[in-house]
Amino acid sequence: MGTHLGMPSVAGRSATTGLLDTHGRQATDMRLSLTDKCNLRCTYCMPAEGLNWLQKDAVLSRKEIVRLVRIGVDDLGIRELRLTGGEPLVRADLLDIIRDIRANHPELPISMTTNALGLDRRAVQLKEAGLTRINVSMDSLHPETFAQLTRRPFLDRVLKGIEAAAAAGLGLVKINAVLMRGINDHEAPDLVEWAVARGFELRFIEQMPLDADHGWTKEGMVTAAEMRALVETRFVLTPDPRNRDGAPAERWEVRSKEAPDVVLGTVGIIASVTEPFCADCRRTRVTAEGKIMSCLFSREETDLRDLLRSEAGDDAVAQRWRDAMWLKPRAHGMDHTGLGAADFVQPDRSMSAIGG
């Protein structure tokens, strides 16, 4: 667990404090969903038939998004912004949104998590608009396995997108791979080999119960310990000495068994289920329709859109955001960790509808 502010009292929350919660954490990392729509149907996230997309006017407009980010950064201590979704690249005004945010906040790190479809055509423009870096989700290097997991045959397009992002200077490129038992878990060492050869940081992700199909089981998921063992069939892993600094990924240095003196690269493992990192969580989430979710697994949502569409000033918006974050659950949407525990309730929203 990293450093924390002391437990703040309600009286101690003045109009100038940031996004504190009753467990002594402060959210400085804003995750903003630009859309609930997506052009893939990853089995651990979306149903095959897709979801009922939000109406256009239900989704925050460019102006509303830019205002919300300004309030977050200027009034609430946000220090990092991540654009996500659904698939952020399907949003037509994505470049304008990034340009506007960059104009207001010249130093703000702005990253994006994407499936990379269409990124080959837009990577340079994204960089020019002011995007800092990119994470790409890609679970398999085999076209058939990729198609099985995403229900779409688009691996070659994703690979082109990744190449374009690296060439455009949107690095360090991180690659996210959810490992699924019996489907792509055997690919773990190949994915590591592919990523380190290209200077990408690969992260293996434990599957969480956030799929629209509600098919997740604790027994069925691949654990972080298993992921390490799979990688260690070909490589030597040692803890990365750098400070984790609130990051979900625990990083490991990768060496080959033949030349263990040379660090080939780094691999991360995001163990939300078996090794949760909630005690050091620094996240605040805004859904595409402007609801604050203080935790990925929150059952409570706080609407900011109605305030943004009223005459309310920035102070009122900031205060409602603070109030929502104050009540952030300790972990996994509850007062204790335990995805899949008897008292855990899976949120109604899938990962794509929350904003991963």
Positions that interact with ligand GTP (CB under 6 A): 82, 84, 111, 113, 135, 174, 176, 205, 247-249, 270, 272, 283, 296, 356
Residue 44 touching ligand SAM (CB under 6 A) = yes
At its nearest, how many Å lie between ligand GTP and the CB of residue 276? 7
45 has binding-site annotation: yes
Q: Are the C-beta atoms of residues 26 and 79 closer than 8 Å to each other?
A: no
The C-alpha atoms of residue 222 and residue 35 are separated, in whole angstroms, by 29
At its nearest, how many Å lie between ligand SF4 and the CB of residue 204? 15
Q: Which stretch in 33-41, 54-62, 199-207, 261-269 sits in contact with ligand SF4 by CB under 6 A?
A: 33-41
At its nearest, how many Å lie between ligand SF4 and the CB of residue 277? 6
Residue 150 touching ligand SAM (CB under 6 A) = no
**In the chain, alpha helices (H):** 62-76, 94-104, 119-129, 143-150, 155-167, 188-198, 224-231, 305-308, 314-326, 351-354
The C-alpha atoms of residue 322 and residue 126 are separated, in whole angstroms, by 31
Residue 46's binding partner, choosing from ligand GTP, ligand SF4, ligand SAM, none, with beta-carbon cut-off 5 to 8 A by kind? ligand SF4
42 has binding-site annotation: yes
Residue 38 touching ligand SAM (CB under 6 A) = yes
Residue 118's binding partner, choosing from ligand GTP, ligand SF4, ligand SAM, none, with beta-carbon cut-off 5 to 8 A by kind? none
268 has binding-site annotation: no
User: What are the distances in angstroms from CA 298 to CA 196, 319, 332, 345?
Assistant: 36, 19, 8, 10
Distance from CA of residue 319 to its chain's centroid? Answer: 25
Residue 283 touching ligand SF4 (CB under 6 A) = yes
295 has binding-site annotation: yes
Token readout for 71 is 């309030």
Question: Under DSSP, is residue 98 helix (H, G, I), strand (E, B) or coil?
Answer: helix
The single residue among 32, 46, 292, 324 that binds ligand SF4, judged by CB under 6 A, is 46
Residue appearing with tokens 């691949």 = 222
- Residues written for the chain: 356
